[in-house]
Protein backbone atom coordinates (compact mmCIF):
# COMPACT_ATOMS: atom_id res chain seq x y z
CA UNK A 1 0.00 0.00 0.00
CA UNK A 2 1.24 3.50 -0.90
CA UNK A 3 2.04 6.08 1.83
CA UNK A 4 -1.14 8.03 1.04
CA UNK A 5 -3.20 4.85 1.39
CA UNK A 6 -1.49 4.15 4.70
CA UNK A 7 -2.35 7.64 5.97
CA UNK A 8 -6.00 7.15 5.05
CA UNK A 9 -6.04 3.71 6.65
CA UNK A 10 -4.53 5.14 9.82
CA UNK A 11 -7.14 7.88 10.01
CA UNK A 12 -9.96 5.45 9.28
CA UNK A 13 -8.80 2.90 11.88
CA UNK A 14 -8.39 5.66 14.47
CA UNK A 15 -11.94 6.78 13.90
CA UNK A 16 -13.39 3.28 13.94
CA UNK A 17 -11.52 2.05 17.00
CA UNK A 18 -11.95 5.40 18.74
CA UNK A 19 -8.29 5.86 19.59
CA UNK A 20 -7.50 9.54 20.06
CA UNK A 21 -5.02 11.79 21.89
CA UNK A 22 -6.86 11.41 25.22
CA UNK A 23 -6.68 7.63 25.09
CA UNK A 24 -3.05 7.69 23.93
CA UNK A 25 -2.21 9.90 26.94
CA UNK A 26 -4.02 7.53 29.29
CA UNK A 27 -2.05 4.57 27.94
CA UNK A 28 1.19 6.46 28.50
CA UNK A 29 0.16 7.31 32.08
CA UNK A 30 -0.80 3.69 32.75
CA UNK A 31 2.39 2.34 31.23
CA UNK A 32 4.79 2.81 34.19
CA UNK A 33 2.22 1.15 36.48
CA UNK A 34 1.97 -2.05 34.41
CA UNK A 35 5.20 -2.13 32.42
CA UNK A 36 6.81 -4.74 34.66
CA UNK A 37 3.82 -7.04 34.30
CA UNK A 38 3.73 -7.19 30.51
CA UNK A 39 6.09 -10.18 30.46
CA UNK A 40 3.51 -11.97 32.62
CA UNK A 41 0.82 -11.19 30.00
CA UNK A 42 3.01 -12.63 27.25
CA UNK A 43 3.81 -15.74 29.29
CA UNK A 44 0.14 -16.35 30.11
CA UNK A 45 -0.74 -15.69 26.48
CA UNK A 46 1.56 -18.41 25.13
CA UNK A 47 0.61 -20.81 27.94
CA UNK A 48 -3.04 -20.41 26.95
CA UNK A 49 -2.24 -20.85 23.24
CA UNK A 50 -0.42 -24.09 24.02
CA UNK A 51 -3.70 -25.50 25.36
CA UNK A 52 -5.21 -25.13 21.87
CA UNK A 53 -3.98 -27.89 19.52
CA UNK A 54 -4.53 -25.85 16.31
CA UNK A 55 -1.88 -23.35 17.43
CA UNK A 56 0.88 -25.96 17.94
CA UNK A 57 2.33 -25.97 14.41
CA UNK A 58 2.88 -22.20 14.73
CA UNK A 59 4.55 -22.41 18.12
CA UNK A 60 6.81 -25.46 18.05
CA UNK A 61 10.44 -24.58 18.61
CA UNK A 62 9.70 -20.88 18.24
CA UNK A 63 8.13 -19.88 21.56
CA UNK A 64 11.13 -17.91 22.89
CA UNK A 65 11.48 -15.85 19.73
CA UNK A 66 7.73 -15.28 19.51
CA UNK A 67 7.59 -14.18 23.14
CA UNK A 68 10.26 -11.54 22.55
CA UNK A 69 8.35 -10.03 19.61
CA UNK A 70 5.09 -10.26 21.50
CA UNK A 71 6.22 -8.50 24.66
CA UNK A 72 7.92 -5.78 22.62
CA UNK A 73 4.61 -5.19 20.87
CA UNK A 74 2.76 -5.02 24.22
CA UNK A 75 5.14 -2.26 25.32
CA UNK A 76 4.42 -0.49 22.05
CA UNK A 77 0.67 -0.74 22.65
CA UNK A 78 1.13 1.57 25.66
CA UNK A 79 3.60 3.96 24.09
CA UNK A 80 2.74 4.20 20.38
CA UNK A 81 1.37 7.37 18.79
CA UNK A 82 -0.92 5.20 16.61
CA UNK A 83 0.33 7.10 13.59
CA UNK A 84 1.36 6.11 10.08
CA UNK A 85 4.54 4.27 11.14
CA UNK A 86 2.66 2.05 13.60
CA UNK A 87 -0.04 1.52 10.94
CA UNK A 88 2.56 0.44 8.35
CA UNK A 89 4.14 -1.91 10.85
CA UNK A 90 0.85 -3.60 11.75
CA UNK A 91 -0.11 -3.74 8.09
CA UNK A 92 3.09 -5.64 7.43
CA UNK A 93 2.31 -8.01 10.33
CA UNK A 94 -1.05 -8.87 8.71
CA UNK A 95 0.81 -9.73 5.46
CA UNK A 96 3.30 -11.91 7.31
CA UNK A 97 0.42 -13.76 9.00
CA UNK A 98 -0.89 -14.74 5.55
CA UNK A 99 2.59 -15.83 4.41
CA UNK A 100 3.02 -18.13 7.44
CA UNK A 101 -0.56 -19.33 6.87
CA UNK A 102 -1.75 -18.25 10.30
CA UNK A 103 -5.53 -18.86 10.50
CA UNK A 104 -7.43 -15.57 10.38
CA UNK A 105 -9.18 -16.12 13.71
CA UNK A 106 -5.89 -16.23 15.64
CA UNK A 107 -5.69 -12.45 15.53
CA UNK A 108 -9.11 -11.84 17.10
CA UNK A 109 -8.53 -14.68 19.57
CA UNK A 110 -5.19 -13.20 20.57
CA UNK A 111 -6.67 -9.75 21.25
CA UNK A 112 -9.37 -11.32 23.40
CA UNK A 113 -6.77 -13.15 25.48
CA UNK A 114 -4.64 -10.03 25.91
CA UNK A 115 -7.53 -7.76 26.82
CA UNK A 116 -8.79 -10.30 29.37
CA UNK A 117 -5.38 -10.58 31.04
CA UNK A 118 -4.79 -6.84 31.09
CA UNK A 119 -8.26 -6.21 32.55
CA UNK A 120 -7.21 -8.45 35.44
CA UNK A 121 -3.92 -6.60 35.92
CA UNK A 122 -5.57 -3.16 35.65
CA UNK A 123 -8.08 -4.32 38.28
CA UNK A 124 -5.25 -5.15 40.67
CA UNK A 125 -3.32 -1.98 39.84
CA UNK A 126 -6.25 0.45 40.18
CA UNK A 127 -8.14 -1.25 42.98
CA UNK A 128 -8.78 2.14 44.60
CA UNK A 129 -9.22 4.26 41.52
CA UNK A 130 -12.17 3.08 39.52
CA UNK A 131 -12.19 6.08 37.16
CA UNK A 132 -8.65 5.31 36.11
CA UNK A 133 -9.52 1.62 35.80
CA UNK A 134 -12.36 2.27 33.35
CA UNK A 135 -10.30 4.78 31.40
CA UNK A 136 -7.38 2.32 31.15
CA UNK A 137 -9.69 -0.47 29.97
CA UNK A 138 -11.33 1.74 27.35
CA UNK A 139 -8.00 3.07 26.08
CA UNK A 140 -6.53 -0.42 25.80
CA UNK A 141 -9.68 -1.63 24.03
CA UNK A 142 -9.29 1.16 21.46
CA UNK A 143 -5.56 0.46 21.01
CA UNK A 144 -6.12 -3.28 20.56
CA UNK A 145 -9.08 -2.64 18.24
CA UNK A 146 -6.99 -0.28 16.10
CA UNK A 147 -4.24 -2.88 15.82
CA UNK A 148 -6.62 -5.70 14.97
CA UNK A 149 -8.43 -3.64 12.37
CA UNK A 150 -5.19 -2.79 10.53
CA UNK A 151 -3.92 -6.38 10.64
CA UNK A 152 -7.19 -7.72 9.31
CA UNK A 153 -7.30 -5.25 6.44
CA UNK A 154 -3.91 -6.39 5.25
CA UNK A 155 -4.61 -10.05 6.02
CA UNK A 156 -7.70 -9.89 3.82
CA UNK A 157 -6.00 -8.16 0.91
CA UNK A 158 -2.94 -10.42 1.12
CA UNK A 159 -5.02 -13.56 1.20
CA UNK A 160 -6.99 -12.41 -1.86
CA UNK A 161 -3.70 -11.75 -3.67
CA UNK A 162 -2.45 -15.22 -2.67
CA UNK A 163 -5.67 -16.77 -3.91
CA UNK A 164 -5.11 -15.18 -7.32
CA UNK A 165 -1.53 -16.47 -7.38
CA UNK A 166 -2.80 -19.95 -6.57
CA UNK A 167 -5.40 -19.80 -9.31
CA UNK A 168 -2.79 -18.68 -11.85
CA UNK A 169 -0.40 -21.47 -10.83
CA UNK A 170 -3.10 -24.15 -10.98
CA UNK A 171 -4.50 -23.07 -14.33
CA UNK A 172 -1.14 -22.14 -15.83
CA UNK A 173 -2.71 -18.87 -16.94
CA UNK A 174 -0.49 -15.80 -17.26
CA UNK A 175 -1.23 -12.74 -15.16
CA UNK A 176 -1.42 -10.63 -18.33
CA UNK A 177 -4.07 -12.89 -19.85
CA UNK A 178 -6.02 -12.93 -16.60
CA UNK A 179 -5.87 -9.13 -16.30
CA UNK A 180 -7.07 -8.72 -19.88
CA UNK A 181 -9.95 -11.12 -19.29
CA UNK A 182 -10.82 -9.27 -16.08
CA UNK A 183 -10.89 -5.96 -17.98
CA UNK A 184 -13.10 -7.43 -20.69
CA UNK A 185 -15.40 -8.94 -18.05
CA UNK A 186 -16.18 -5.59 -16.41
Interface residue list for its own copies (CB under 8 A): 12-13, 15-18, 48, 51-52, 54, 103-105, 108-109, 111-113, 115-116, 119-120, 123, 127, 130, 133-134, 137-138, 141-142, 144-146, 148-150, 152-153, 155-156, 159-160, 163-164, 167, 169-173, 178, 181-182, 185
Quick one: three-class SS letters along the chain? CCHHHHHHHHHHHHHHHCCCHHHHHHHHHHHHHHHHHHHHHHHHHHHHHHCCHHHHHHHCCCHHHHHHHHHHHHHHHHHCCCCHHHHHHHHHHHHHHHHCCCCCHHHHHHHHHHHHHHHHHHHHHCCCCHHHHHHHHHHHHHHHHHHHHHHHHHHHHHHHHHHHHHHHHHHCCCHHHHHHHHHHHC
For the CB of residue 29, give the shortest distance to its own copies in the complex, in Å. 17
* Complex with its own copies: residue 76 or 109, whichever CB lies closer: 109
Of 72 and 177, CB closest to its own copies: 177
Q: Which is nearer to its own copies, 38 or 133 (CB)?
A: 133
Spatial CB neighbours of 95, under 8 Å, sequence gap ≥ 6: 154, 155, 158
**Residue closer to its own copies (CB basis): 39 or 138:** 138
Report, in Å, the least distance between residue 58 CB and its own copies: 13
CB of 17 vs its own copies, minimal distance in Å: 5
- In whole angstroms, the minimum distance from the beta carbon of 76 to its own copies comes to 18
With respect to its own copies, which residue has the nearer C-beta, 31 or 106?
106
Shortest Å distance, C-beta 131 to its own copies: 8
Amino acid sequence: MQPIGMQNLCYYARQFAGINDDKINILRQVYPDVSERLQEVTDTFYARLQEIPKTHPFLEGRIDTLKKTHVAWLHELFTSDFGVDYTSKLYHVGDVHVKVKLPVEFMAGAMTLIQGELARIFGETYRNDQDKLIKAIQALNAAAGFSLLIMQESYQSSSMAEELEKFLRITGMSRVLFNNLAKAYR
